[in-house]
Amino acid sequence: MNSSLDPISTYFNSYEDREAAFRRAVGFSLARRHAGPAVFWRDFNQIARSETRSSKNGSVAYIPSNPRDCLAFGTPRQVLMASLMSAANSGNISEKHVLETARQFEISELLSQPIRTLSGGETVQLALAKTTVSMPLFSHVVVASPFTWLSNTNRHLLEHLNTVCKRSRKPLSIMALAGEGDLDTIGPSDPFIRPSPSQISFRLKMTDVQIPLMVSLHPLATRGAYAAIENITLDLISPCLMVGDNGQGKSLLARTIAHAVSAKGHVVLESPHAQQPPRLLFQDVLSQTMLRSFGALSHKPPKGHSDQIYSCYCELQRHYANARKQAPPHQSVPIGDWSDNQHSLVDIKTILVAARLAGKPSALILDEPDWGMSRSSAVAFVSAVIATAHRQQTAVMLISHKPWWYTIAGSLLRVTRSSVAGDQTSASPVFTIGLELETNPS
């Protein structure tokens, strides 16, 4: 990665190895969601009974791989106020201190917004702000996989945390997945195999789209807050890459296209061979599983697609294995067999994709597909998904702030968010999401 963060970063080849090391570093104070419901509840009960072990190095501040897990309050303002008051051991903390911290971490406009509505990158920014102001309370800091969430333009905030740690003489440890912080586009050494057919045409139409937000807990905000999407008709080529910095609305746009959020207006994705609407794979797939086991995800599919799901899973597994042959040894995790008793995060992502492709949707949308994967695993996984989807004429849309995917994209969409100045009690949107078809720089 070639930055000041390199000496304090440790890289792992699998999500499971990284999580095990992270849990050891923070005194086993987090329940494992990736290992199934039985393990999660066993961990949860141990934490509730205070049976977890203390960190050997004293009190630790940590930002886990899902940064929401270290944020206990409803809004950024509440998080920052509580952190500032705890660190100062005083009630003499004012709104001025909160505003200054928010300005430093570029989250001033988010202070009254419920944390559940923040983007992944915005959540990390808040977690970094909380950790920085809480520094007097801790002996060291551990951060898991920040580069999965932070766009390149916001990595300086992580550098700022490192500077504060050095000034305070408190060590900072970053635990990341191999290649997670790379900024190079996919090249000949990456495990990507061109699909056949290599490209598929599809069309996206959005007209008068309004997305109810209910985002503000500010007492003066009234009902009816919403985001708008610009009217647009786009002729696209799969794989289509949607790019944009943190907080621009990429994930909200994806959920709108996949009809995963309630919205007014018309959102249509047209694909000639589709049998179902677009489907979406979340960035944090562990939230999407809702703690269901692999068996529950595979044996109880919607609309009785069990045979098709099994076939898709096997096809994804085969393509992934072929792509992995191009990867350096031990840098990507294999997809496990359907009938294995234990399944990795890669297996979980694969079964979720298989369940969606089995219904032959008009498009499959992958939100930050590298989450929980090394670069090698992520590239091989996306290669397998595109190949399997294109074989059945299903379009694929990738959402990412990383430049990795430019060289494989058939079309490139830039997502931008523009705030609306003025009174939020009016009929105008809180913000508007715009899309622009760009020339691929690769």
Q: What is the pLDDT of residues 45-57, one digit of tens each?
A: 888 776 555 555 5
pLDDT band at residue 35, thresholds of 50, 70 and 90?
confident
pLDDT of residue 219: 47
Q: With a cut of 90, say whether residue 107 has pLDDT above it.
A: yes
Cα 211 from chain centroid?
21
Instruction: List, in sequence order, the alpha helices (H) in 15-145.
Output: 15-25, 37-48, 76-88, 95-104, 120-133
Q: With a cut of 70, say whether residue 23 has pLDDT above it.
A: yes
Residue of 236, 176, 184 lying closest to 17 (CA atoms) = 176
Q: Whole-angstrom Cα distance, residue 432 to residue 210? A: 9
Question: Taking the domains of the chain in order of start, what are their residue ranges?
Answer: 6-177, 200-438
% of residues, the chain, pLDDT over 70: 90
pLDDT band at residue 300, thresholds of 50, 70 and 90?
low
Neighbours of 432 (CB within 10 A): 16
What DSSP element (H or E) covers 235? strand 232-238
pLDDT of residue 217: 43
Q: With a cut of 60, say whether residue 178 has pLDDT above it.
A: yes
Q: How far is CA 401 from CA 120, 147, 244, 370, 406, in A?
A: 11, 10, 6, 11, 11
Q: How many residues does the chain have?
A: 442
Q: Are 19 and 186 in contact (CB under 8 A)?
A: no
CATH class of 200-438: alpha beta
Q: Whole-angstrom Cα distance, residue 411 to residue 71? A: 37
Q: What is the pLDDT of residues 122-171, one digit of tens each?
A: 999 999 999 999 999 999 999 999 999 998 999 999 999 999 999 999 99
Same fold across 6-177 and 200-438: yes
Q: With a cut of 70, say whether residue 37 has pLDDT above it.
A: yes
% of residues, the chain, pLDDT over 90: 62
pLDDT band at residue 421, thresholds of 50, 70 and 90?
low
Average pLDDT, the chain: 88
Kindly state the average pLDDT of the residues 8-14.
Answer: 93
Burial letters 244-268, b for 16+ CB under 10 A, else e: bbbbbbbbbbbbbbbebeebeeebe
pLDDT of residue 299: 62
Q: What is the pLDDT of residues 368-405, one digit of tens each?
A: 999 999 999 999 999 999 999 999 999 999 999 999 99
Q: Which two tokens stand for residue 313?
A: 């899973």
Q: What is the pLDDT of residues 352-364, one digit of tens each?
A: 999 999 999 999 9
pLDDT of residue 406: 96
pLDDT band at residue 101, thresholds of 50, 70 and 90?
very high
Kindly state the average pLDDT of the residues 235-262.
Answer: 92
pLDDT of residue 51: 57
Q: What is the pLDDT of residues 334-354, one digit of tens each?
A: 899 888 778 899 999 999 999
pLDDT of residue 53: 54
Q: With a cut of 60, say whether residue 263 has pLDDT above it.
A: yes
Q: How far is CA 11 from CA 147, 156, 170, 175, 400, in A?
A: 12, 20, 21, 6, 21
Residue of 294, 336, 284 lying closest to 37 (CA atoms) = 294
Q: How far is CA 240 from CA 156, 198, 209, 261, in A?
A: 29, 12, 21, 21
Q: Whole-angstrom Cα distance, residue 84 to residue 434? A: 36
**430: amino acid identity, one letter:** V
Q: Whole-angstrom Cα distance, residue 6 to residue 20? A: 21
Q: Whole-angstrom Cα distance, residue 366 to residue 248? A: 17
CATH class of 6-177: alpha beta
Q: How far is CA 48 from CA 30, 39, 142, 261, in A?
A: 11, 14, 22, 34
